[in-house]
Amino acid sequence: MNNKTVLGLLYMLASSFAFSQTQENEAKSFDLDEVILSDSRFELKRENSGKTVIKITAQELEQKSGQTVAEIINTKSGITINGQYGQAGNTLSTFVRGGQNRQILVLIDGIAVNDPSQIENNFDLNLLSLDQIESIEILKGASSTLYGNRASTAVINIQLKKGGEEKISANFSSFLGTNNTQNDSDFDINNFTNAVGVQGRIEQFNYQVNFSNTYTDGLSAIRSTDGQPENESDVFSKYSTNTKLSYTFNDDFELTGYANYDNYRTGFDGGFTLADENNTSNNKQYRFGVAPKYKYTKGSVNVNAAINTVEREFESDFPAQFYAQSLVVDAFNKYKFSKNLYTVLGINYIKSDMNTIDDFTTISEQTANDENLDVYVNATYLSDFGLNINGGLRLNNHSEYGSNMVYNLNPSYVFKFKDNSIKLMSSYSTAYITPSLYQLFVPGFGNENLEAQEDRTLEGGFEAKVLKNKLRFSALYFNRLQKNAIDFIILDFTTFESEYQNIDDEFTVKGVEVELTYKPIEALEFNANYTFTESKDALLFRVPKQKVNASIGYQMCNTTFMSLDFQYTGDRKAAAFEPDFINRRTLESFSLINFNINHKVLDNKLQLFAGVSNLLDEDYEEVFRFSTRGRNYRFGFKLSL
């Protein structure tokens, strides 16, 4: 961390506390007991949750308009998203608590989304558009009991926007910006994002339709070498549509249907050759779903069902096409036995298939398909004296490897002292990650005898609310045991005969997550988090041992908000695919500071936004030999009618 960055951060902290002291009499408490959903599927206050669930509200998303979903999620504790600071459309790798892509489950409106044609069966965050999202909850730790496959290190629960209360209303937004590297100071507008949304309610009918597009130019995926001219830029172009319709037949029954289409095309260079190449990839996603909900006296019956189709095509010296489809049905009954006992009983069915055509392998959907059929139960007990317990079981049944059981026990206790409180939290939970269709069936490397990877997570910590709810502070220790992991094994170095196998070695990842929210006065809020992650049994590629995020948000007046954000990412180990051999490199730490401001005019119907990213124009390497963005500017507007 350089001296300028340290001084800047100290100045931010000193200014915030000095300002708070001069206006202490105006301080007001703010609601830290927001309602969260992800850890129990019931809307419960934060104090009744045994986990430190991260909630990204609609207000925070609005304040960070113009950014990407990955950029916002990457500011939260325990999370590193690798590849987001380079050329738009880069492959994103998401690491939570030292886990990999395949250990993270993404939900959209309660439905699991993934790409069965990916080696890790993960979901591509590049497909999401921020303007279509209402809120995001991040539940860390093993959560397979409630959510099933891949819910090992985190569940990212994304809620898309739904219709408004007026008969019709509309939103328009447009953002322009530069897209330069650190050694390119030209003020060229190369980043364009536009969106339009129409929503409303007509009696019992509620509707929401969104469209957005993004175009980015000016940056090459591969970094140019010293003394060499800038590489050819790789263009990124994306458009997304989201339609959500719902009808309330009476007070008891509601039917929601939705359809999404996301399509992006991006240039990419030679990741193994590290050469500037004129390659392109095209990624498409289609989602169609229904979600009926029937309420009765003490509960509700819910069904979330969707068909998700993904198409990917690569145009390069090694062309390839991928097609995958998944059917997901999650049916569950929520029942309240009393004000203290909440239960969920459900059944989850997933069917996936894929096919691939390239110069080396062809995989047919008649061969590459699998099914999961799970039953699960979860219960939440809220006592009258501070004790809360969440626990559950899930039996997973997989068409290839058979069955396994996962479970969760999450007790917590809240001590209250007048306007202050402290919550002690603990959790012991297990999770499973099924082998992907690629790992099971790819010709030459696939292994149909693969079993599920198993994870166990132990957590313990506390969350305190003091100073009349102006300060919330939490600290959590986690210990994650990973066993039966699936890896690519070279069986014969002479012939390069290889196969995916479950490995016998176990390893542990442990760490600490600290979060702080301080609001000394109504207009000023300070947020910070620190994450320490390490494993003494294995090498964690691209995962920093230490990471810090901090932000100061100041509501200057009723119409103007400004924020200053800081991020420090520590040293990381990287696999360097160099021309002659695969090497291990240490990527140096880096620090970034971003500034944003938005101002409302015309009775709050028009919002103006401006921002500067990488304010100090730091030169850094996020992914080995890939480009990163230097100081860049962004400005735009959002109009509500």
Task: List the single range of 355-364, 410-419, 466-475 with lowest mean pLDDT.
Answer: 355-364
CB-count exposure of residue 230 (10 Å: 0-12, 13-18, 19+): middle
pLDDT at 559 over 50: yes
Distance from first CA to last CA of the chain, Å, rounded?
45
Q: Are 577 and 272 in contact (CB under 8 A)?
A: yes
One-letter identity of residue 76: K
Quickly count: other Cβ atoms within 10 Å of residue 475's Cβ: 17
Please give the pLDDT value at position 18: 37
- Per-residue 3-state assignment (H helix, E strand, C coil) for 342-383: EEEEEEEEEEEEEEEEECCCEECCCCCEEEEEEEEEEEEEEC
Residue 76 confidence class, pLDDT cut points 50, 70, 90: very high
Please give the pLDDT value at position 186: 78
**Mean residue pLDDT across the chain:** 89
One-letter identity of residue 22: T
Pairing of strands 154-160, 104-108: parallel
pLDDT at 2 over 50: no
Q: Which of 62, 129, 117, 482 is nearest to 324 (CA)?
A: 117
For CA atoms 48, 159, 245, 162, the dihedral sign is: positive
- DSSP-assigned states of every residue in 380-410: EEE-SSSEEEEEEEEEEEETTTEEEEEEEEE
Q: Are 575 and 541 in contact (CB under 8 A)?
A: yes
Instruction: Please give the Cα distance from 84 to 94 (Å, whole number).
Output: 10
pLDDT (mean) for 62-87: 92
Instruction: Please give the Cα distance from 237 to 192 (Å, whole number).
Output: 10
Instruction: Please give the Cα distance from 50 to 40 (Å, whole number).
Output: 10
Q: Which of 567, 389, 564, 452 is nearest to 151 (CA)?
A: 452
pLDDT at 65 over 90: no
Residue 132, phi then psi, degrees to nearest 5: -95, 0
Q: Which of 501, 499, 494, 502 is nearest to 443 (CA)?
A: 499
Q: What is the dihedral of CA 440, 446, 450, 456, to 10 degrees?
A: -80
Instruction: Please give the Cα distance from 125 to 242 (Å, whole number).
Output: 16
Instruction: Please give the Cα distance from 352 to 120 (Å, whole number).
Output: 14
All structural domains of the chain: 3-640 (2.40.170.20)
Instruction: Please give the Cα distance from 487 to 630 (Å, whole number).
Output: 36
Residue 406 confidence class, pLDDT cut points 50, 70, 90: very high
Please give the pLDDT value at position 562: 95
Compute the chain's Rg from CA coordinates.
24
Which pTM was predicted? Answer: 0.91
pLDDT (mean) for 407-419: 94
Please give the pLDDT value at position 582: 57
pLDDT at 15 over 60: no
Express each pLDDT in 431-489 by its tens digit.
999 999 999 999 889 999 999 999 999 999 999 999 988 999 999 999 999 999 999 99
Highest mean pLDDT of the ranges 360-364, 393-397, 576-580: 393-397
Instruction: Please give the Cα distance from 186 to 181 (Å, whole number).
Output: 10
Token pair for residue 367? 């061969």
Q: Which of 487, 374, 388 is nearest to 431 (CA)?
A: 374
Q: Are 39 and 49 in contact (CB under 8 A)?
A: yes
Instruction: Please give the Cα distance from 298 to 477 (Å, whole number).
Output: 36
Residue 3 confidence class, pLDDT cut points 50, 70, 90: very low
pLDDT at 21 over 70: no
pLDDT at 134 over 80: yes
- Provide the 8-state DSSP code for 116: T
Please give the pLDDT value at position 226: 62
Please give the pLDDT value at position 271: 67
Q: Are 299 and 334 in contact (CB under 8 A)?
A: yes
pLDDT (mean) for 347-357: 95
Please give the pLDDT value at position 478: 97
Pairing of strands 169-178, 632-640: antiparallel
Instruction: Please give the Cα distance from 103 to 151 (Å, whole number).
Output: 6
pLDDT at 371 over 70: yes
Token pair for residue 605? 């119907």
Residue 184 confidence class, pLDDT cut points 50, 70, 90: confident
Instruction: Please give the Cα distance from 455 to 144 (Å, whole number).
Output: 10
Instruction: Please give the Cα distance from 223 to 457 (Å, whole number).
Output: 38
For CA atoms 618, 622, 627, 632, the dihedral sign is: negative
Long-range CB contacts (< 8 A, 24+ apart) of 574-583?
A: 574/541, 574/542, 574/623, 574/624, 575/541, 575/624, 576/624, 576/625, 577/271, 577/272, 577/274, 577/624, 578/274, 579/273, 579/274
Please give the pLDDT value at position 588: 94
How far CA 556 is from CA of 522, 524, 613, in Å, comes to: 10, 9, 21
Residue 317 confidence class, pLDDT cut points 50, 70, 90: confident
Express each pLDDT in 237-266 by its tens digit.
999 999 999 999 988 999 999 999 999 999
Task: List the single range of 30-44, 160-174, 347-361, 504-518 with lowest mean pLDDT.
Answer: 30-44
pLDDT at 286 over 90: yes
Token pair for residue 458? 């132990």
Helical spans, DSSP H, in 74-226: 144-147
Q: Are 328 and 110 in contact (CB under 8 A)?
A: no
pLDDT (mean) for 327-341: 96
Q: Which of 81, 96, 98 is nearest to 155 (CA)?
A: 96
Token pair for residue 246? 């719902």
The set of residues, in sequence order, having a beta carbon less than 8 Å from that of 246 and lying 6+ positions away, is 162, 163, 205, 206, 207, 254, 255, 256, 257
Name the percent of the chain lying above pLDDT 70: 92
Instruction: Please give the Cα distance from 126 to 342 (Å, whole number).
Output: 36
pLDDT at 8 over 80: no
SS3 110: coil
Locus of tokens 């954000």: 565
pLDDT at 303 over 90: yes
pLDDT at 618 over 70: yes
Q: Are 378 and 397 in contact (CB under 8 A)?
A: no
Long-range CB contacts (< 8 A, 24+ apart) of 487-494?
A: 488/445
Please give the pLDDT value at position 390: 97
Please give the pLDDT value at position 51: 87
Task: List the single range of 4-8, 474-478, 508-512, 627-631 with lowest mean pLDDT.
Answer: 4-8
pLDDT at 5 over 70: no
One-letter identity of residue 182: Q
Name the percent of the chain lying above pLDDT 90: 73
Q: Are 91 and 84 in contact (CB under 8 A)?
A: no
Please give the pLDDT value at position 232: 82
Q: Which of 208, 217, 198 is nearest to 162 (CA)?
A: 208
